[in-house]
Amino acid sequence: MVKIAPSILSADFSRLAEQVQAVERAGVDYLHLDVMDGHFVPNITFGPGIIKSLRQNSQLPFDVHLMIDEPERYLESFVAAGADLISVHVEACRHLHRTLETIKELGARPAVALNPATPLSSIEHVLAEVDMVLLMTVNPGFGGQKFIPAVIRKIVQLKKMLDDENLNIDIEVDGGINAETALQAVRAGANVLVAGSAIFGANDIEKAVRTLRMSVNT
Ligand code: DX5
Ligand code: ZN
Length of the chain measured in residues: 218
Mean pLDDT of 167-180: 98
Domain ranges of the chain: 3-216
Centre of ligand 2 from the C-alpha of residue 164, in Å: 27
DSSP letter at 146? Answer: P
When pLDDT is cut at 50, 70 and 90, the band that residue 217 belongs to is confident
- At 218 the pLDDT is 66
Centre of ligand 1 from the C-alpha of residue 126, in Å: 25
Mean pLDDT, rounded, of the chain: 98
Determine the residue of 46, 151, 194 to mutate for testing ligand 1's pocket, defined as the one with the most ligand atoms within 8 A of the Cβ atom.
194
Centre of ligand 1 from the C-alpha of residue 121, in Å: 24
- Which pLDDT tens digit goes with each residue over 4-14? 999 999 999 99
Task: Please check the confidence at residue 99 and state whether its pLDDT lies above 70.
Answer: yes
The hierarchical CATH code for the domain 3-216 is 3.20.20.70
Spell out which residues line ligand 1, taking CB within 6 angstroms.
7, 9-10, 32, 34, 65, 138, 140-141, 143-145, 174-177, 194-198
For residue 179, the SS3 value is: helix
Q: Which of 29, 34, 37, 131 is catalytic?
A: 34
Q: CA-CA distances (angstroms) from residue 36 to 18, 64, 68, 71?
A: 22, 11, 6, 11
Mean pLDDT of 137-152: 98
According to the annotation, is 77 in a ligand binding site? no
- Which pLDDT tens digit goes with each residue over 18-62? 999 999 999 999 999 999 999 999 999 999 999 999 999 999 999
CA 25 to chain centre: 20
Mean pLDDT of 145-161: 98
- At 153 the pLDDT is 98
CA angle 121, 123, 129 (to 5 degrees): 150
- At 156 the pLDDT is 98
Task: Please check the confidence at residue 184 and state whether its pLDDT lies above 80.
Answer: yes
Look up 34 and say whether it is catalytic. yes
- At 144 the pLDDT is 98
Ligand with minimal distance to 115 CA: 1
When pLDDT is cut at 50, 70 and 90, the band that residue 91 belongs to is very high
Task: Please check the confidence at residue 110 and state whether its pLDDT lies above 70.
Answer: yes
Give, for 198, the enclosing helix (H) or strand (E).
helix 197-200
- At 177 the pLDDT is 98
Q: Could you give the CA distance from residue 195 to residue 57 in angstroms, rounded to a whole number?
A: 20
The ipTM, to two decimals, is 0.98
According to the annotation, is 38 in a ligand binding site? no
Look up 69 and say whether it is catalytic. no
Mean pLDDT of 83-109: 98
Mean pLDDT of 183-211: 98
